[in-house]
Amino acid sequence: MTKYINDVVSLTDRLMLKNRVVLAPITLSVCQPGGYVSEDDISFYKRRACSVGLVITGSAYIHPQGQAFANSYSVAEDDKIQGLSSLAKTIQEQGAKAILQLYHGGRMVPPHLIEGLPVAPSAVKGNHGSVIVPRPLKSLEVDDLLKQFLDAIRRAEAAGFDGVELHGANTYLIQQFFSPHSNIRQDKWGGSFNNRLRFPKTLLKRAKQLVKLEFNRPFVIGYRFSPEEIEETGITLWDSLQLIEQLIQQGVDYLHISSSDVWRSSLRDQEAKSPIIKQIISKIKGRVPLIASGNIHTIQDVEKILSADIPLFSVGKALLLDPDWTQKIAEDHEETIIRKYQDRLQEQIELPIDFVNSLRSYLEEDA
């Protein structure tokens, strides 16, 4: 059967999306102080939600200690629910489903953003970013972290979101528990492969139980993952394939790959030429929806994804620059797509000025 960008597609048995396009999670860093949703946030998502079937918000930290970006969303306290509710409603009024991405930065938190030291599974410094050696979490603190994630899920549901995405990618805390580079613990939360699986598995299991026992409506729990780490002792594709299997067994509703290019080959094995997403598709076997990501700009990009039987794909830069990208692709008006930022287009595309100024060189490059 031929697939099209504007096909209605099911994310779960009870949640339908109006098309196959997902707005990728983008951290705008334009929140009000304290992590409150701003008018700039509302305007940005209102302008783009009409083009996509699913919006995944920029990441919201579940505890102040986990804030890895200045002026980003907080879902750490009940007083954030009102603003998040306005955000969810704005997205849904445009016909899209709304997912709140949840994370804790762990060892990747810049120390100037928080009080005290960053925390992580082990006292191992990250290899990039403005980071320091983190303080290793005590066993009881790991239990507290799981509770903080669950409390954040409750707030997301109270705010009216259709679900949450657990951010187990981009070297943040959930991934840090899974990675042999960042997790060298000797208790039940680390060391062996199975122990390193324990945190993401436990978090997903408890999140699914929470939805079943406490929520009276459909609520999605998705998971984003990075397939590999470049560090010599980091996550391998084999590791991630085992993680995928465990997440499916625990009832994850969808999987979202974090990648710079949908079709990239292995970061670790320079001899491997085949795109790693092929092995991921083979592992999933259609049991849950996969959201592909990375370097998607043209009609040919979309056609290649759909011909590979990938049901959904997330788009970042293309929708940043042109909120009408989906319609232009669907109607074969690719020549009219805005491919780089210009100040004269600001009223048309509604990007927050502070965001533009912080990433101007990136936005002014041809997409």
- CA torsion through residues 211, 103, 113, 364, sign: negative
Q: What share of the chain is helix, strand, coil (3-state, %, to 5)?
A: 40, 15, 45
Indicate the residue type of 67. Answer: Q
Q: Is 254 a catalytic residue?
A: no
Structural domains in the chain plus CATH codes: 9-363 (3.20.20.70)
Which residue in this structure is represented by tokens 């797509």? 337
- What tens digit of pLDDT does each residue of 173-232 get? 999 999 999 999 999 999 899 999 999 999 999 999 999 999 999 999 999 999 999 998
- pLDDT of 10 reads 97
Catalytic residue of the set 172, 223, 254, 341: 172
What gap in Å lies between CA 224 and CA 7, rounded to an integer?
Answer: 23
Share of the chain above pLDDT 70, in %: 100
DSSP letter (8 states) at residue 344: G
Contacts of 214 (CB under 8 A, 6+ apart): 154
> Which residues in the chain land under pLDDT 50?
none
CA dihedral defined by 68, 238, 163, 80, rounded to 10 degrees? -10
What gap in Å lies between CA 62 and CA 147, rounded to an integer?
Answer: 10
Specify whether the CB–CB gap between 62 and 107 falls below 8 A: no
